[in-house]
Structure 1
Amino acid sequence: MRRFLKIFGQQKCKVIGMIHVDALPGTPRYAGHWKETIEKAIYEANLYKRHQLDAVLIENMHDIPYVPERLLGAEITACMTRLGQAVRDVIPKEIPCGVQVLACGNKQALAIAKASQLQFIRSEGFVFGHVADEGYTDACAGDLLRYRKLIDAEDVLIFTDLKKKHSSHAITSDVSLLETAHAAEFFLTDGIVITGTATGHAASPQDLQELSGRVKVPLLIGSGVTKDNIGLYYKDANAVIVGSHFKRHGSWLEEISEEAVENFMRKVCELRQPS
């Protein structure tokens, strides 16, 4: 928790705005507009800055269909590094920025964070194997933390998904969410991410309450947070990651809606007022 508070500060329930960057070169949906991809990421970063979000996270969400980490090309790491630097350049230094590389590009994310001076990554598959839609995902904590040490990136926080969305967890059905959280904590996670079953699907408030006060690391909500349900998470979550709700019609595929960002942050400001 100390590492989290050093970067994010003491205020309850930080809001992390997601930037779903356009499909990158080499992926099926890449449209050939690399310069516009950078400009769009900068635009969204400035929008989040204008509405005083607490942190920003970039992700290659549009690179569908995803491939396992071993098949990620060097172009993805290079392009995400360029985008990370572009976002970092417009966001004040005191505001944390992070990166996630799908699917399970956790080492790549660490390298990007190191090169672009980002403060955190979101990692998949940290503890316990599972079957995702891009294939089998093996646990990576030991390898990933050794790599963080190797590249001198220990100041980069690693937030880890548990029982990851878009995945089957039948092979670990006898391992509870709390047991999984304790395993991630034992393996030195810097924060636990709780999600629903798919992008944009709300995480269970009961899952949050099950872990609250029973682990010592920060708890983050990683999907389905909206203006209407933020109150369910606000008390117990150290941070919420918001992406789909900030888009038109609440769909991650759509363009960002400044009105949605403004309305959400107005609700958060109301929750932050002393009762």
Structure 2
Amino acid sequence: MAEARSISRDRKEIDRADANRPVRIRKIGVGDLRQALAQGLDDFAQQPSHLVFLGLIYPIVGFLLARASMDGEWVMLLFPIMAGFALVGPFAAIGIYEISRRREQGLDTSWRHAFDVLRSPSRLSILLLGVLLMLLFVAWLAAALVIYRRTLGFYEPAGIMELVGQVLTTRAGWALLIVGNGVGFVFAAGVLAISVVSFPLLLDRRVDAFTAMGASLRAVGANPGPMALWGLIVAAALVAGSIPFFVGLAVAVPVLGHATWHLYRKVVER
């Protein structure tokens, strides 16, 4: 009992030290991005079957949402749903970050440990930040629907190919593409700014959600070029993984998740 109390007291002292210690941000370059991606691929290669299992959650949910949107009048939301995956990706990959963290420390990396985040001291902050990203995802879908109504009105396509033809061959369709991509870029840039290192930081140290988001904003401010390139890499990987039928996300999401952890290690001082 005395030993347990001592361990608990030591844990609380470490947590207080974590909370009081400033989060220091480093400058990185393109070479660091390449190295983070290589390390992410290496993590994935160690246990690909386990990580594909975890990654399957992502494409299955995406497929179900897309399938639901293809029924009736909601077919116009298929593309916003696909694009919006980048908004919830940092939260969806939280278990992947945990696997990389454990491998870094030489601990067991069985897929079951991805759920250890449920016992993390920062789990409430992780949940709060996750809810924020989900709200941004919903806000993006609402904005996309408004843009659709403002450009194509109440036109309801019979299917995907008819919608694609309408978008690519009419002035209203081009307006939809330009305005929609512009607004989507603003959402994606905002999510990147507040989440690029915040979730790994919450797993690594006991800080609150606002401290984590502040550190992420400072990381982007200190490294605008590399972070912009990182955002493009993530977006390209998610788009490629979504074609066809979201199957590739079972690989893209774990690799990006591992790489994000290693990017965090390069940006935030230990």
Shorter-normalised TM-score: what interval? under 0.3
Structure 1 or 2, whichever has the larger Rg, is 2
Structure with bigger strand share is 1
More contact order relative to length (CA 8 Å, sep ≥ 6): 2
Which has the larger share of helix?
A: 2
TM-score under structure 1 normalisation?
0.27
TM-score, scaled relative to structure 2: 0.28
